[in-house]
Amino acid sequence: MKKILLSILLVCAPALMMAERADFHVIPMPQSIQTDDSQVFTLQTGMGIAYDASDPEVARNVQFLRQWVEELTGVKLQLTPDDQKAPIRFVLGFPTDKKAKKVKKGQKPAELTEQQQEAYILTVDQSGLTIAARKPVGFFRAVQTIRKALPIKAVSSIELPFTTITDEPRFVYRGAMLDCARHYFSPDVIKQYLDMLALHGCNQLHWHLTEDQGWRFEVKALPELAKKGSVREKTVLGRNTGVYDGLPYGGYYTQAECRELVNYAAERYINIIPEIDLPGHMMGALHVFPNLGCTGGPYPVWPIWGVSRDVLCPGNPETLKFLKTVVGELCDVFPSKFIHIGGDECPKDRWKECPKCQAKIKELGLKEDGKHSLTDQLQTWVNHEMEQFLSERGRDMIGWDEVLEGGLTEGGIVMSWRGSQGGIEAAKQHHRVIMTPTSHCYIDYYQLKDAGAQPLGIGGYLPVSKVYSFEPQQPEALSEEEQKYILGAQVNLWTEYVAYPEHVFYMLLPRLDAISEVQWTQPAQKNYDNFRERLNHMFKLYDKLGIAYCHKVE
Ligand code: ACM
Ligand code: ZN
């Protein structure tokens, strides 16, 4: 009897389910969206998707659509690549581009910007759903928009209101940083982080891999480096209380794991920028190679938080050899055009006392110039050596804004973190800039006023609304021409106080939503109250995906 009842229920269930409507007003908000809610196209199980199956990149994006529609709604679409009449169509190329080419016959077509290459046009009309993209990356962006527009509920069918979306990102660089050195997060967690970035239209993961508290990148030529440099014997409890947990803590990424993550990211149109922070923040390496420090050590992998005064000794020729070995292997593993060499918070106390460093300053002929100290110039010499090394490998160097202090060479990119001023100065000097000031982008800060209502953090207060208000191009300080040097913005998640994956995502979300609209959407389309309403749907999506987030928004 029970079995019969169950069978009846199963047969009737689809009929009991309702049709639900999609809403294309997603986060980040598309550039142009026209919707006619009075007419809908209804998406149902069994409907086919037409696409060019000979292109595996296109096919992968079609699979993403099929997977996500089923995951969120239960509606199962079919792959019907050759069906010209299929109601869902992936079309490579914009009709408007073809027209533009015809008009300018004989002339060279204008080069597309990177943002234009990411563009897509999404149309819903009586014939169905059409996604047009110039490149497969545009399909991915469109499919993410559809994913965020879907009802999150088992439904019999999905009503798509008649819509035309024309969309492309505002900034070429849309990133987030994750510090995996203070705490190690498994490759699976990095994949989840990448998934969240992709959901929000980000295209850069800045991966902070080395620190005073641990070295997490395998270097084959120096096998002891990650093996020993990744392990601290203990970790301080709370904010440098002097009380320790007494537990060894470690973990590092093999080159095979890094390569797998690079590929995983690339399938989601995210570039991974690795960072080896040098010449400061190096206690992990100094523990293994104490001869590379000015005093000779011994040095522990640091069990406390803060900035160590022990840093690499640039007076020792072995130091540059070490750095080039490490960064050489980094370039082998990460195809990124941008490589981050850190350069922040490098105290010069040891260099001032060190005979080798002082001899190097003499050898290089560094002179007091009234602007930059001799030791600042010594750091600049290290930066330039690394920039040259990277440039020979076809890479561009990114450094934290301290790299400006001794003068930056032409190709260097500044990551402005101590406010926006470093970025403003760099842009005025015609250096490319990534904006990530503590004031608007440091998501290790608390996001609620009531610190006690959140897990212990480093301090500060950066609510969602403040992240949302950020304007990376600084129009008050920069001319239109200078603003072009601002490549974009990113949020930074330092993890001294963030040890577990749930906490990572609690800190990230929903501040990533806010920065995504800074990165993607033109200022004229931004509206905080409207964003706040759209956020409710993202919360449902995070619930469905089982991702932690901060439920309260300030
Ligand atoms: C930094 O926050 N030390 C770049
Ligand atoms: Zn030295």
Which amino acid residue places its CA nearest to atom 1 of ligand 1?
A: 344
36 forms beta bridges with 162
Q: pLDDT grade, residue 393 (50/70/90)? A: very high
Q: Quick check: CB of 345 below 6 Å from ligand 1?
A: yes
What is the distance between the alpha carbons of residues 72 and 75, in angstroms, rounded to a whole number? 8
The per-residue pLDDT for range 312-364, each reduced to its tens digit, is 999 999 999 999 999 999 999 999 999 999 999 999 999 999 999 999 999 99
**Which string of b and e fits 425-436 if b means at least 16 CB within 10 Å?**
bbbeeebbbbbb
What's the Cα-to-Cα distance from 503 to each of 65, 189, 205, 462, rounded to whole Å? 29, 11, 18, 16
Residue 105 has pLDDT above 70, yes or no: no
344 close to ligand 1 (CB < 6 Angstrom): yes
In contact, 477 and 541? CB cutoff 8 Å? no
Mean pLDDT of 468-485: 98
For the segment 414-440, the average pLDDT, to the nearest whole number, is 97
Q: If you average pLDDT over residues 244-258, what whole number do you get?
A: 98
Report whether 507 contacts 447 (CB < 8 A): yes
Q: Which of 114, 299, 260, 274 shows the shortest CA–CA distance to 181?
A: 274
The bridge status of strand 128-133 relative to strand 120-125 is antiparallel
Give one DSSP letter per residue of 444-498, joined into a string. TSBSSS-GGGS---S--B--HHHHHT--TT-TTTS-HHHHTTEEEEEEEE--TT-
Distance CA 360, CA 377 (A): 11
Task: Quote the pLDDT of residue 11.
Answer: 55
The CB-side HSE value for 15 (13 A sphere, CA atoms) comes to: 5
- Ligand nearest the Cα of residue 434 is 1
Query: CA–CA separation, 283 vs 321, rounded Å?
Result: 17
Q: What is the pLDDT of residue 253?
A: 99
Rounded to the nearest angstrom, the distance between the alpha carbon of 349 and the centre of ligand 2 is 10
> Which two tokens mark 531?
């964003």
Taking the centre of ligand 1 as the mean of its atom positions, its distance from the CA of residue 152, in whole angstroms, is 39
Domains of the chain listed by start with CATH number: 14-99+113-167 (3.30.379.10), 173-342+395-545 (3.20.20.80)
- Tell whether ligand 1 has an atom less than 6 A from the beta carbon of residue 442: no
Residue type, 352: K
At which residue do the structure tokens 């301090």 appear? 459
Whose atoms come closest to the Cα of 382: which ligand?
2
The answer, yes or no, to whether residue 102 has pLDDT greater than 90, is no
pLDDT above 80 for 12: no
pLDDT > 70: what percent of the chain? Answer: 95
Would you place residue 57 in the very low, low, confident or very high pLDDT band (cuts 50, 70, 90)? very high
Is the CB of 425 within 6 Å of ligand 1? Answer: no
Q: Does residue 234 carry a pLDDT above 90?
A: yes
- Reply yes or no: is the peptide bond before residue 355 cis, omega within 30 of 0: no
pLDDT recorded at residue 17: 77
Confidence of residue 480 (pLDDT cuts 50, 70, 90): very high
Mean pLDDT of the chain: 95
Whether pLDDT at 8 is above 60: no
Single-letter residue type at 439: S
Q: What is the mean pLDDT of residues 353-379?
A: 95
**pLDDT > 80? residue 150:** yes
- Mean pLDDT, residues 502-508: 98
Task: Say whether 534 sits in a helix, a strand or coil.
Answer: helix
Atom of ligand 1 nearest to the CA of 345: 3
Whether the CB-CB separation of 215 and 529 falls below 8 Å is answered with: no
User: Is it the case that residue 14 has pLDDT exceeding 60?
Assistant: no
pLDDT category, 408, cuts 50, 70, 90?
Answer: confident
Of the pLDDT bands very low, low, confident and very high (cuts 50, 70, 90), residue 411 is: confident
- pLDDT above 90 coverage of the chain, percent: 91
> What gap in Å lies between CA 314 and CA 308, rounded to an integer?
16
**β-bridge partners, 414:** 399, 433
Q: Is the CB of residue 267 below 6 angstroms from any atom belonging to ligand 1?
A: no
Least confident of 167-171, 328-332, 368-372: 368-372
Mean pLDDT of 110-119: 94
Site to substitute for ligand 1 among 206, 277, 400, most atoms within 8 A of C-beta = 400
* Interval between CA 63 and ligand 1 midpoint (Å): 39
pLDDT at residue 285 tops 90:
yes
Query: Is the Cβ–Cβ distance between 360 and 314 less than 8 Å?
Result: yes
pLDDT, one tens digit per residue, over 516-552 is 999 999 999 999 999 999 999 999 999 999 999 999 9
Residue 291: other Cβ atoms inside 10 A: 12
The pLDDT of 90-117, averaged and rounded, is 80
CA R_g for the chain:
26
pLDDT at 5 over 70: no
Where are any strands of DSSP class E within 462-508?
486-493
Which residue from 128, 126, 91, 253 is spatially nearest to 180, judged by alpha carbons? 253
The half-sphere exposure of 3 on its side-chain side, counting CA atoms within 13 A, is 0
Distance in Å, CA 280 to ligand 2 centroid:
12
CA–CA gap between residue 92 and residue 214 (Å, rounded): 46
Give the whole-angstrom CA distance, residue 491 versus residue 159.
35
d(CA 238, CA 125): 57
Q: Is the peptide bond before 279 cis (omega within 30 degrees of 0)?
A: yes
| Residue 409: per-residue pLDDT | 78
- Rounded distance between C-alpha atoms, residue 24 and residue 164, angstroms: 10
- Longest pairwise C-alpha distance within the chain: 94
Q: Reply yes or no on whether the pLDDT at 98 is more than 60.
A: yes
What pLDDT, in 10s, does the model give residues 185-230? 999 999 999 999 999 999 999 999 999 999 999 999 999 999 999 9
pLDDT of residue 7: 61
Question: Closest Cα to atom 3, ligand 1: which residue?
Answer: 344
Distance 436 CA to ligand 1 centre (A): 10
Whether the predicted pLDDT of 71 surpasses 70: yes
Average pLDDT over residues 229-233: 98
Alpha carbons within 13 A on the beta-carbon side of 62? 25
